[in-house]
Each structure stands twice: as structure tokens, then as C-alpha cells.
Chains A and B, each alone.
Chain A
């Protein structure tokens, strides 16, 4: 049953990525070296015969975990990724969450303009956050990166809108229907390489990864993939409990997403 579910999810994700590659002239993908975006790259390799045919973008604020940088370099080399690192300036005049949003969105805007990207693959999932649950598989952004969550295109059957507003771009979300345990089951099945910070040491691990200043570990003894999967089946702790940014009110998250934050 689990295998069939993973096969269906994988097939849909492959379909969406292939459609995006066909429909958009300049496609890119965001990679945070987390479990979701790395899984997305693994699926992309399946979709495109072992290669990732679009640039893979890391928005680097300089304070990611060192393990994350090491993982980035190792996997980019191993998978021959066209890695583009967009340096961002940390803007901490505003609070932690807004710092992340402003910091990364500004860097992304600048890079997309330089690379003239018209579509961007982002590995968000509906189950991560209530606001992300409102997203579409193919979601337009206007020229100011704004997301009109009140007026989204219909997605009927397998027909996805590829219309780009003047100066805008489109976000492609191939992992939207996946949930956290699906991701880990897939990682286990496909032996997708993972950032070591996800695995427990001394009774703690990182369940969701952000930068060093905004991510705290959670109590856990899950040291292997099997342990993590077993833990997820019984936990009542939210996935992003260790992310400072998500402690803000939901309408703030919605507002920031509507302004272009991932």
C-alpha cells in the first residue's frame, strides 16, 4: 500500500516537472539542502534520465549550518548539478521571521531578474503549514513577486495554467501532495542522500532545517531512517516546531508569502 502510494506521488511529481520543463523557457529550482528539495532533485533525476536539466539555486545568507554547506558541495559534485549560489545580505532590523523572508526574497528577486527565469520549482508541501495548503501545483506570481491567494487558477484534472503575467513568473510545486512521512519513506526506498543533521545525537535532532540562528533541535532518539519513520507515526509534534519563523501568527505568514517569500 505504501509502495503504491509512493509510486503515485512520484509519477505525479515527474509529470509536473516534465510539463514545467516543456512549457517554460527558463526553469530553475530552489534547493535548501533540506529533505524536501533534495528529494525533489532525486525525482528530477528520474524524470530526466539521470540529470537535472535546470539550474539549482541556493539562496545563501552565510549562516546556514556548516553541515549543510558540506552536503551542498558533495551532492552538487556527485550529481553534476548546475549550482547557482545567490548571496543574500542578512537584514535583521526586523524580527526573526521577517528577516528570513526579506533576506531570501530580495536575493531571489535579484537572481531571477539576472537569470531571466520565468518559472521556479519550489519544494513546499501542503501539510507543512496551513498557508501552504492553499497553494496550487502551478502558481503565478506577479512582477512584484506577489501571490494573489484569493484569485488562484483552477487546476482541473491534469491541466495546469502556464500563463505568466507581464513581468511575473510561475512557481511550480511538484511535492504539494506529499506529506512528511512520504518524503522519508521515499528517501529510504530510493536511498536519497541526506543532511546528517536530521539524525539524532545525544537525544536531539533537527526535524526541519533552516539557518543556524532560527532553527532549534527537537528531542528525539531517531538515529536512522527507520527510527525517523517510526517516530513520525506516533509524534504529535509539528514538523516545523523547531523553526522560529513559524511561531509567528498565521496571517503574518500568509502576508509574507503573498509578498513573495517562499
Chain B
């Protein structure tokens, strides 16, 4: 059972990884996020995006992560530049549940 201390420490770790992802959305950082989510209280994700008009707009897409009571706990990018194109990374959130339906 997660204690308050564990939850606080897990949140700090998630914040640090989220911050690292925004500055460097590398495969290694994504894997770090995936592993950190397993030990955290993150339960839901929700996707936000501006438009599909161009790659630049698409890279602004992000996912907000929520705990079991739908309190936001982190905000992470979900699309990154890869070469000339862009690549999505929602696969790293596969252990969470979608909250886009909670509108």
C-alpha cells in the first residue's frame, strides 16, 4: 500500500522525468517514464492537441496524467520530432486508462 511519503517521492520523480521529456523526448527518457509510472499513483491520461495542420502544431500535443481521483499529477509531451517527421509515444502510457471520456 502506497504511503503518503512514497506518493510524494514518486510524484517528484515523475515531475523530474516529465521535465526531462519536454527538453529531450528521447527513447531512454520515455522508458524512464514508463517505469516510473508503474510505481506511481498515475491512473489516467488525457490527450490534448491543438490541430493537425502542421508538424509544429502536432508537437505541442501533450497528455495530462491523473491519479485515481482525477487530480492532475503531470503533463508530458506525446509527440516528438524524429528526423524530418514526427513520432507519437502513447504506447508508453499503455498501463493507464483514458480520461478523454470524462468531459
Which A residues fall within an 8 A CB radius of B? 61-67, 69-70, 73, 87, 89-93, 95-96, 99, 196-197, 200-202, 204-206, 211-214, 216-217
**Cβ contacts under 8 Å, B58 to chain A:** 90, 92
Please tell me which one of the listed residues A66, A70, A99, A201 contacts residue B102 in the complex, with CB atoms under 8 A apart: A201
Asked whether any CB of chain A lies closer than 8 Å to the CB of B26, the reply is no
Most buried by A among B52, B54, B92, B97: B52
A90-B79, A92-B54 as given contacts; A63 in contact with B85, CB under 8 Å? no
Interchain CB contact under 8 A, A206 and B101: yes
A66-B93, A70-B95, A213-B47 as given contacts; A205 in contact with B101, CB under 8 Å? yes
Question: Could you show 15 A-B contacts with beta carbons less than 8 Å apart?
Answer: A62-B88, A63-B47, A66-B90, A66-B93, A67-B94, A69-B91, A90-B79, A90-B87, A91-B85, A92-B51, A92-B57, A93-B55, A212-B100, A213-B52, A214-B52
Asked whether any CB of chain A lies closer than 8 Å to the CB of B96, the reply is yes
Asked whether any CB of chain A lies closer than 8 Å to the CB of B28, the reply is no
Interchain CB contact under 8 A, B103 and A90: no
Interchain CB contact under 8 A, A65 and B90: yes
Interchain CB contact under 8 A, A67 and B98: yes
Please tell me which one of the listed residues A61, A66, A89 contacts residue B45 in the complex, with CB atoms under 8 A apart: A66
Please tell me which one of the listed residues A70, A73, A201 contacts residue B101 in the complex, with CB atoms under 8 A apart: A201
Which B residues fall within an 8 A CB radius of A? 45, 47, 49, 51-55, 57-58, 61, 78-79, 82, 85-98, 100-103
Shortest distance between the CB of A67 and any CB in chain B (Å): 6
Interchain CB contact under 8 A, A64 and B57: no
Interchain CB contact under 8 A, A197 and B53: no
Interchain CB contact under 8 A, A89 and B85: yes
**Cβ contacts under 8 Å, B47 to chain A:** 63, 212-213
Please tell me which one of the listed residues B88, B94, B100 contacts residue A90 in the complex, with CB atoms under 8 A apart: B88
Shortest distance between the CB of B10 and any CB in chain A (Å): 19
Q: Which residue of B lies closest to A70 (CB)?
A: B94
Given the complex of chains A and B, what is the CA–CA distance between A73 and B56 in angstroms?
31
**Cβ contacts under 8 Å, A61 to chain B:** 88
Most buried by A among B96, B98, B102: B98
Given the complex of chains A and B, what is the CA–CA distance between A202 and B100 in angstroms?
11
Given the complex of chains A and B, what is the CA–CA distance between A201 and B45 in angstroms?
14
**Cβ contacts under 8 Å, B57 to chain A:** 92
**Cβ contacts under 8 Å, B53 to chain A:** 92-93, 95
Given the complex of chains A and B, what is the CA–CA distance between A205 and B102 in angstroms?
10
**Cβ contacts under 8 Å, B92 to chain A:** 66
Interchain CB contact under 8 A, A213 and B100: no
Shortest distance between the CB of B35 and any CB in chain A (Å): 15
**Cβ contacts under 8 Å, B93 to chain A:** 66
Given the complex of chains A and B, what is the CA–CA distance between A97 and B8 in angstroms?
42
**Cβ contacts under 8 Å, A65 to chain B:** 90, 98
Shortest distance between the CB of A202 and any CB in chain B (Å): 5
Given the complex of chains A and B, what is the CA–CA distance between A204 and B100 in angstroms?
9
A62-B90, A213-B47 as given contacts; A92 in contact with B101, CB under 8 Å? no
Shortest distance between the CB of A182 and any CB in chain B (Å): 25
Please tell me which one of the listed residues B52, B61, B101 contacts residue A95 in the complex, with CB atoms under 8 A apart: B52
Shortest distance between the CB of B103 and any CB in chain A (Å): 7
Given the complex of chains A and B, what is the CA–CA distance between A212 and B64 in angstroms?
13
**Cβ contacts under 8 Å, A206 to chain B:** 101
A62-B91, A66-B94, A66-B95 as given contacts; A217 in contact with B86, CB under 8 Å? no
